[in-house]
């Protein structure tokens, strides 16, 4: 299913080559698909149960929304999200945030890393500005994701405001799933499909938050600790899994090792210090390899 | 839990928007408005992605090194051991997130039980 999309890209690439527009190249999903190749099930291996493109099932946008909603049962990432948000709910409880606060963060932030950065920094006494800086740096990666995913649903008739909600729903899970599902959805129904898929995933996470919050409140200390441990474990492994380039791996390993050192300075911006230092060294490694290559 | 408890204080919700929602959402909306102008391979974005990964790594380390709430009741060595055991299995199973998480959890629970 990705193959058809790729051929399309090649044709577009050939046509626009004369204009030498970097934008077209950027909109090409292939490079990102390669980076996340391990997380995207291969065509044929795991075919998605959607109606054929010319089916009358796609005539109504509401039906398309329903198919999107149902598609959350077609991916293992739904379980990963559930576990992650179970941990976030428990983390919010043990850092003394209210349940509504935790649910509002899922609904309006809708980015796991930003949420745990926000909860952890605010919980350990950082100021609003310090937390905002850490969150915004973690969120920059959403920019290229939105840029690459929206063209998959755009038609010549699509107005920008129709894409606002789809842009809000864009996070790594939805982005991976869009590349998998959208080739099997007629273009004019893709926005409705993505709204359904996104709403389904958000609902799963809201339920997980609530369950995690109450488990943390009512379980024995040991089981409560086990739920809290889900957050670092699931984030560590999903980030490691998405690390395809050397710079990503170096940033991950150094970021973990440098934090305890930075914490000794007790500056209040420990996370930012260790993050910028580790990230810059990782970039240096990337640059050094590029120069030598 | 009462209704008031569930909501918490309004100040915390205001902080959520200022420190969480706006700094996060701004990048999605910029992507929507200026989409297509920047190449993901550009050097600036490589650096930004590395810093973002390192910040997330730092937060992961912070939760394990200076644990919140109930996790603080687990001895240091057991928390580090659980992450290390999970990591080993994650690598051995060709990057299975599920196998890594389950191993880490089982290691910690078994360790707590064994230590009494």
Same domain, A274 and A139: no
| Domain presence at residue A20 | no
A159, A268: one domain: no
Give the chain B residue whose CA is nearest to the CA of A255: B54
Of residues A258 and B48, more confidence is placed in A258
Q: CA-nearest residue of chain B to A107?
A: B21
A139 & A269 share domain: no
ipTM of this predicted structure: 0.86
Interface contact B54-A99, CB threshold 8 A: no
* pLDDT by position in tens, chain A (length 293): 344 444 433 333 333 333 334 444 344 444 444 444 444 444 433 456 789 998 888 999 999 999 999 999 987 779 889 988 999 999 999 999 999 999 999 999 999 889 989 999 999 888 999 999 989 988 887 887 888 788 888 888 888 889 999 999 998 788 878 878 898 999 999 999 999 999 999 999 999 999 999 999 998 889 889 988 998 998 899 888 878 788 889 999 999 999 999 988 877 678 888 999 999 999 999 999 988 87
- Number of domains chain A contains: 2
A interface mutation test: which of B25, B70, B99, B113 has the most A CBs within 10 A?
B70
Cβ atoms A111, A136 nearer than 8 A: no
**Is residue A118 a part of any domain in this protein?**
yes
Q: Based on the domain organization, do A287 and A179 belong to the same domain?
A: no
A256 close to B61: Cβ distance less than 8 angstroms: yes
For residue A59, the SS3 value is coil
User: Does residue A209 share a domain with residue A110?
Assistant: yes
Residue A205: count of CB within 10 angstroms of its CB: 25
What's the CA gap between A233 and A90, in Å, rounded? 14
Shared domain check, A278 and A170: no
**A195, A85: one domain:** yes
Same domain, A131 and A263: no
What is the chain A residue with the closest CA to B83?
A233
> What are the helix (H) ranges across chain B?
3-7, 10-15, 22-34, 43-65, 76-92, 97-115
Q: Which of A101, A219, A255 sits opposite B58 (nearest CB)?
A: A255
Q: Domain residues of chain B, as ranges?
A: 1-37, 38-67, 74-116
Q: Mean pLDDT of all residues in chain B?
A: 88
Q: How far is B23 from chain A (nearest CA, A)?
A: 5
Of B29, B63, B112, the CB nearest to A167: B29
Q: How many CB pairs under 8 A join A and B?
A: 343
Contact state of B39 with A26 under an 8 Å Cβ cutoff:
yes
Q: Considering the domain boundaries, does residue A266 fall inside one?
A: yes
Query: Are residues A293 and A252 part of one domain?
Result: yes
Asked if residue A74 belongs to a domain, the reply is yes
pTM above 0.80, yes or no: no
Domain presence at residue A19: no
The answer as to whether A5 is a domain residue is no
Report the residue of chain A nearest B14, measured CA to CA: A101
B68 touches chain A (CB under 8 A): yes
Q: Is the CB of residue B116 less than 8 Å away from at least one CB of chain A?
A: no
Q: What is the DSSP string of A2-58?
A: HHHHHHHHHHHHHHHGGGT-HHHHHH--HHHHHHTGGGSPPTTTT------TT-GGG
* Contact residues for A59 (Cβ-Cβ < 8 A; gap 6+): none
Residue numbers in B near A140 (CB within 8 A): 27, 45, 48-49, 52
Does residue A173 share a domain with residue A119? yes
A11 lies in some domain: no
What's the pLDDT score for residue A43? 42
Do A117 and B43 make contact, defined as CB atoms within 8 angstroms? no
Residues in chain B with CB shorter than 8 Å from the CB of A117 are 55-56, 59
A170 shares a domain with A203: yes
Q: Decide which of A230, A265, A281 is a domain's last residue.
A: A230
Same domain (yes/no): A204, A95: yes
Asked if residue B15 has pLDDT above 90, the reply is: yes
**In which domain, by residue range, is A137 found?**
36-40+59-230
Q: Is residue A189 part of a domain?
A: yes
Give the residue from chain B lying closest to A270, CA to CA. B58
């Amino acid at each position: 299913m990705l193959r058809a999309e790729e051929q399309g890209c090649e044709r577009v690439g050939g046509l626009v080559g004369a204009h030498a527009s970097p934008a077209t190249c950027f909109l090409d999903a292939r490079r990102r698909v390669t980076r996340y190749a391990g997380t995207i099930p291969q065509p044929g291996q795991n075919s998605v149960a959607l109606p054929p493109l010319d089916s009358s099932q796609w005539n109504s946008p509401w039906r398309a929304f329903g198919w999107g909603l149902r598609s959350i049962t077609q991916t293992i990432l739904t379980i990963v999200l559930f576990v992650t948000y179970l941990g976030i709910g428990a983390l919010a409880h043990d850092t003394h945030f209210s349940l509504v606060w935790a649910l509002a963060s899922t609904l309006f932030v809708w980015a796991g890393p930003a949420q745990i950065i926000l909860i952890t920094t605010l919980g350990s006494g950082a100021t609003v500005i310090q937390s905002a800086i850490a969150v915004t740096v973690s969120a920059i990666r959403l920019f290229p994701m939105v840029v690459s995913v929206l063209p998959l649903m755009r038609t010549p008739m699509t107005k920008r405001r129709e894409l606002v909600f789809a842009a809000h729903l864009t996070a790594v899970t939805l982005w991976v799933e869009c590349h998998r599902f959208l080739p099997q959805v007629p273009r004019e129904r893709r926005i409705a499909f993505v709204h359904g898929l996104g709403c389904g995933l958000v609902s799963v996470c809201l339920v997980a938050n609530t369950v995690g919050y109450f488990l943390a409140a009512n379980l024995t200390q040991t089981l409560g600790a086990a739920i809290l441990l889900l957050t670092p474990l699931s984030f560590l492994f999903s980030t490691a899994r998405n690390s395809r380039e050397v710079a990503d791996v170096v940033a991950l390993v150094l970021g973990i090792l440098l934090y305890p050192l930075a914490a000794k300075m007790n500056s209040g911006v420990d996370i930012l210090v260790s993050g910028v230092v580790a990230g810059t060294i990782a970039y240096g490694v990337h640059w050094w390899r590029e120069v030598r290559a | 839990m009462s209704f008031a408890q569930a909501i918490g204080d309004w100040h915390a919700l205001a902080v959520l928007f200022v420190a969480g929602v706006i700094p996060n959402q701004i990048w999605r909306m910029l992507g929507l408005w200026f989409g297509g102008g920047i190449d993901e391979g550009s050097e600036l974005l490589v650096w930004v992605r590395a810093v973002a990964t390192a910040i997330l790594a730092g937060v992961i380390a912070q939760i394990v090194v200076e644990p919140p709430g109930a996790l603080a009741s687990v001895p240091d060595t057991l928390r580090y051991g659980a992450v290390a055991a999970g990591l080993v299995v994650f690598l051995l199973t060709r990057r299975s997130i599920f196998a890594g998480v389950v191993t880490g959890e089982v290691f910690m629970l078994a360790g707590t039980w064994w230590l009494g």
